[in-house]
Structure 1
């Protein structure tokens, strides 16, 4: 094989490699993610379909309106707790008064006892929900207030006692309790307060000794009658409407979970980042990830990946009928080439597990292609030198005597 044929072969390979590089540099050259054009095309090979939405003041307004409503949105009854009712297992104290001695409970002999009343030994409400009062029989107690029980006792003995009155009190409360557990200093289960003096969520947590960790990493879950809602602890402090009244039977679970987001592409740093606050905006998140790389990033191609509820997606103009899931994959685009984009970024609140992706500038991809071509050319040059050396060596052998 002559040096000219070798050169011709490598020239063809070089032209082929260059053509491939120019035609599909995103496939040939290394990259940290898709190009902005690929994202905007909304074509996906293996992942789910997604929607691309440009961040505008109108879009930001919709997102702000549909931010999670916390406890206030889940439990809409703002009234203080109703009166405490008795339950099975509660220990009840009953005292019966008569207007004069000589009646049903009070002996006729003066001075036998101080005061015209008798206190019945404490008793627990039985499994059928009753207590027993002498001469009155079984009195329904479970699910009733103290006043209702008192009236029932008086009604039963009215015709036998002298102008009777009864006082019913909770001696030991074993139902109508509020539980606070999890990441609190002294987990507690305590009786609910009487009507008109109810505790709120923060009061209940205070009774349990307060939270153990930082407020921004602490979450509070309230369970009531099979329904649950969760809110950041600092939201209870910053948004008083979420600090709702607790009710008998409520369970409050406090736990710690740092909110996080991820950054990829041409950001200053790639990886997973903690909020270190109960909420941050998109501008703060980009700054926390090191901003944009000046030599690599396309400031006009910053993308926020997240899943939005169907109702929010519909408000954004997305055809939600294409999707069966409760949440819709949405990529929000924002341009930091626009000076106003930075102001807009401060209005977009980040959510846990959001992803920020910054695309490379097209000039970066062109540079990668040129580097690829330079490598191919250098390789072909080395091969040509090797071929020439081999040819000279063979010729020298033939000329040798």
Structure 2
């Protein structure tokens, strides 16, 4: 009796679909009709091309700045408040006056606005300071000294404006409480006053808390996108945190792993090279996918069919597809920059499954051939 090798082969082929795989193939992902029904599928599929890469490179994230529009007055008030330190200089027309000194005819009096909003000036008594500008306080003191000092002239100098402060905590070189000057102070100015970050800028995250509002961005985005460098308001709290960036690679590559960013910028081509490139025996060069969340504004620009009713602060899941079968794909991979928490997946080529199948049945075929020889 001869064994029917073709019959055995057909039976095994029927089970080929049950073979293990690294993940869905390119054909399975692209078959999802996400472009025409993004709301139902929950993500958008974008084919990488020159226009898409240009849009990504030109996009300016503004969600951080938008969170603080109209929130806070954006500057330290010019009026004095409790805790402010002052130096009061009083000149008189004669050296025999109340405040005259032997050297220059002027007396310097330090003062601090107390908890009731007043300061004390000899012979003028308690003078209301809180709520007044420096010039207003100067005029008030000078007026109170008329008739007591000889033709008094008063100069008020503001020291530390401790009534309006902001706090810097976390991974700053010098965390602490910082007084805000009367001029506008930007967020980067405050961070610089605290000595900057202990870590690299591209690994540092800035969180600004203002009342009930808060926003988070990377420190480098305050530099690259000046609109995010918002004006500090009294009472602000700034947290600097060390957040190393990583991306993940799965599928038909030589190493499935979590990869840390070692430089400020890492392109898709560099990311693939880091894990050893595509697996020559399994990878589908036309099925390279990258999964990430994009701002709704950018996602809507990339996918015109995406609903326009999505709030601007929403993060939309987007899948980018790249084909390296086209030589232009290598140039696109060189320009496409990876971001923190990106997931890269390289799908299996359809023939890879057949290769797995042949590896499984090869011993069986050899046994069938040997049995047929014995029967003969």
TM range (shorter): 0.7 to 0.9
- Is the contact between residue 71 and residue 243 of structure 1 (CA under 8 Å) also seen in structure 2? no
Q: Choose from 327, 330, 337 the match for 1:339.
A: 327
Secondary structure of 1:276's counterpart equals coil
Aligned to 1:269: 255
- Structure 1 residue 233: Cα displacement: 4.6
SS of residue matched to 1:213: coil
Contact 1:84–1:145 under 8 Å retained in 2 = yes
CA contact (8 A) 2:186 2:229 kept: no
1:52 to 39, 45, 57: 45
The structure-2 alpha-carbon separation of the partners of 1:319 and 1:178, relative to structure 1 and needing over 3 Å to count, comes to closer
Count of residues in Structure 1 that have an aligned counterpart in Structure 2: 364
Residue 320 of structure 1 corresponds to which residue in structure 2? Answer: 307
Aligned-partner Cα distance in 1 for 2:306–2:115: 56
Distance 2:138 2:62 in 1: 42
| Cα pair 2:98 2:149 within 8 Å, conserved | no
Moved more, 65-74 or 209-218: 65-74
CA shift in 2, pair 1:309/1:238, >3 Å: closer
**Quick one: distance in 1 between partners of 2:120 and 2:13?**
98
Please give the TM-score of this superposition, normalised by the length of structure 1: 0.71
Contact 1:18 1:373 survives alignment (8 Å) = no
> Partners in 1 of 2:33 and 2:365 — Cα distance?
34
2:342 aligned residue (318, 339, 354): 354
Alpha carbons of structure 1 residues 270 and 318: separation in structure 2 relative to 1, 3 Å: farther
| Alpha-carbon distance between aligned partners in 2 of 1:303 and 1:369, rounded to the nearest angstrom | 25
**1:286 Cα deviation from its structure 2 partner:** 1.7
SS at match of 2:21: coil
Contiguous gaps of at least 5 residues in structure 1: 390-401
Change beyond 3 A, Cα 1:112–1:270: closer
Equivalent residue, structure 2, for 1:37: 27
Displacement after TM superposition at 1:327 (Å): 1.8
Q: What is residue 300 of structure 1 aligned with on the other side?
A: 286
Q: Residues of 2 paired with 1:376 and 1:312: CA distance?
A: 54
Residue 135 of structure 2 is aligned with which of 147, 153, 159? 147
Evaluate the alpha carbon distance shift between residue 212 and residue 153 of structure 1 in structure 2; reply closer, same or farther with a 3 A threshold.
Answer: same
Q: Is residue 2:81 matched to residue 1:87?
A: yes
* Bigger mean CA deviation after superposition, 253-262 or 329-338: 253-262
Q: CA deviation at 1:308?
A: 1.4
Match of 1:63 in 2: 56
Tell me the CA shift for residue 54 of structure 1: 0.6
SS in 1 for 2:142: helix
TM-score normalised to structure 2 length: 0.75
Task: Using the TM superposition, give the Cα deviation of residue 329 of structure 1 relative to its aligned residue in structure 2, in angstroms.
Answer: 1.5
The answer for the alignment partner of 1:129 in structure 2 is 117
Within 5 Å, give how 1:250-261 maps onto structure 2: 251-261=237-247
Q: How does 1:213-228 map to 2 (within 5 A)?
A: 213-223=199-209, 228=214
Q: Could you say if the C-alpha distance between residues 379 and 326 of structure 1 is closer, same or farther in structure 2, counting changes exceeding 3 Å?
A: farther
Matched position secondary structure for 2:270: helix
Query: Following the alignment from structure 2 to structure 1, what is the Cα–Cα distance between the partners of residues 274 and 60?
Result: 22
Give 5+ residue unaligned stretches, structure 2. 35-39
**Cα displacement (A) at 1:128:** 3.7
> Which residue number in structure 1 is paired with residue 37 of structure 2?
none
